[in-house]
A = this chain, B = another copy of it.
Amino acid sequence: MIILIKQGAEKSQVDNLINWLKAHNIDPHISVGSHETLIGCVGDVAHLDIDLVSALDVVASVQRVGDPYKAANRKFHPDDSIIDCGGQLIGGGHFQVIAGPCSVESEEQIIEVAKAVKAAGATLLRGGAFKPRTSPYSFQGLGVEGLKMLVAAKKETGLPIVTELMNFSQFEYFNDVDVIQIGARNMQNFDILKEVGHNTQKPILLKRGLSSTLQELLMSAEYIMASGNPNVILCERGIRTFETATRNTIDLSVVPLLHQFSHLPVVVDPSHATGVARLVHPVAVAATAIGADGLIIEVHNDPPKAKCDGAQSQTPQMFAETMKAIKAVRPYACR
């Protein structure tokens, strides 16, 4: 952490600051120049509240040099984390494709899609029971009934299941769920992060918020891990920018960056990232090539009749083509 002292600060004030830093186990090194004074702080600053320092009267600005996350930090855990998702491993060279409809609509539908994606090569099944929708007038998911249908599809096909938890009060129904998804709009719902940290060891698929920085994503992972659950999978699903040609802007350079910063696996969601079915295939291939540890893809047996996200859902036929392309490119993936 670097502290820039205001011009004209009194020595007594600077001394106070130095003593305060020492009291927090920070080792301050002072550089006095003709125009400015800097204090370089070495030591464990991850637990220090940077806003507090920057509010001090003598401080012109503060810049953190170290990382504010520890549990998620590759520096302290050099080896890749490998997460067991109902028997399917993700991370450390293990690559999985999660596929299924945006929302579970009926037992027939989810079983039909599950069989189709399994036949094409998917190794986990996704499907929404509790759905976050921008409009209160849009279909909100089948809820607990939807979860039961998803579990039926798991029994029928053997595929582990991934589904979103929107509210911790729903947790009691998640016994048979293999991977719990925390959606982009809840990435900074800190209470739910703590709750899935405290109460379960199931893998958490944590989606990046629409305008979250990589550091914020890692801090949200840190909430879960610091609460007791180390099994976090990071998910890039596109960010919000000025460009309107796609629903979101997929930020693929985050895959190697997150691998540099953290030991956690990184999965890419090309369906939400683009919002356009015909772009899912090329983005899935590119995400595989750049070294993602997995993909999560929306597939619907009849997209025009889908109750949500029909525009971005692949048909089972499209998905089978995409799986072929993914398998072909996978041996040449980075890392």
Chain A at the B interface: SS class: mixed
Q: Are B241 and A246 in contact (CB under 8 A)?
A: no
Q: Which residues of B contact A37 (CB under 8 A)?
A: 42
A307 an interface residue at 8 Å Cβ cutoff? yes
The answer to whether A106 has its CB under 8 Å from any CB of chain B is no
Number of copies: 4
Q: Does A100 have its Cβ within 8 Å of any Cβ on chain B?
A: no
* Chain B CB within 8 A of A173 CB: no
**Considering the complex, which residues of chain A in the window 278-312 have a beta carbon less than 8 Å from any beta carbon of chain B?**
278-279, 281-283, 285-291, 303-311
A211 and B240 contact, CB distance less than 8 A: yes
Residue A101 interfacial (CB < 8 Å): no
Query: With A137-B47, A211-B211 in contact, do A288 and B285 touch (Cβ < 8 Å)?
Result: no
CA distance A47 to B289 in the complex (A): 41
A191 in contact with B211 given A31-B40, A35-B42 (CB within 8 Å): no
User: A57, B304: Cβ atoms under 8 Å?
Assistant: yes
Among A82-90, A107-115, A199-207, A214-222, the stretch that binds chain B is: A214-222
C-alpha spacing A252/B251, complex, angstroms? 8
Q: Are A135 and B68 in contact, with the CB atoms below 8 A?
A: yes
Residues in B whose Cβ lies below 8 Å from that of A283: 252-253, 290
Complex-state Cα separation, A257 to B333, whole angstroms: 23
Contact yes or no, B246 A249, CB < 8 A: no
Interface residues on A, range: 35 or more
| Interface-side segment among A120-128, A151-159, A182-190 | A182-190
Most B CB within 10 A of own CB, among A190, A215, A246, A291: A190
* B189 and A189 contacting across the interface, CB-CB below 8 Å: yes
Contact check, A42 vs B33: say whether CB atoms are below 8 A apart: yes
Give the distance to chain B from A17, nearest Cβ to Cβ, in Å. 10
Residues of A302-334 whose CB lies within 8 A of B: 303-311, 313, 325, 328-329, 332-334
A52 close to chain B: CB less than 8 A:
yes
Instruction: Judge whether B239 and A249 touch: CB under 8 Å.
Output: yes
**A216 shortest CB reach to chain B, Å:** 6
The answer on a CB contact under 8 Å between B253 and A249 is yes
Residues of B within 8 A of A333 (CB): 285
Q: Could you list which residues of chain A lie within 8 angstroms of chain B, going by C-beta atoms?
A: 2, 4, 27, 29-38, 40-43, 46-47, 49, 51-52, 54-57, 61, 63, 65-66, 68, 132-140, 166-167, 185-186, 188-191, 194, 210-211, 213-216, 219, 222-223, 226-227, 239-246, 249-257, 260, 273-274, 277-279, 281-283, 285-291, 303-311, 313, 325, 328-329, 332-334
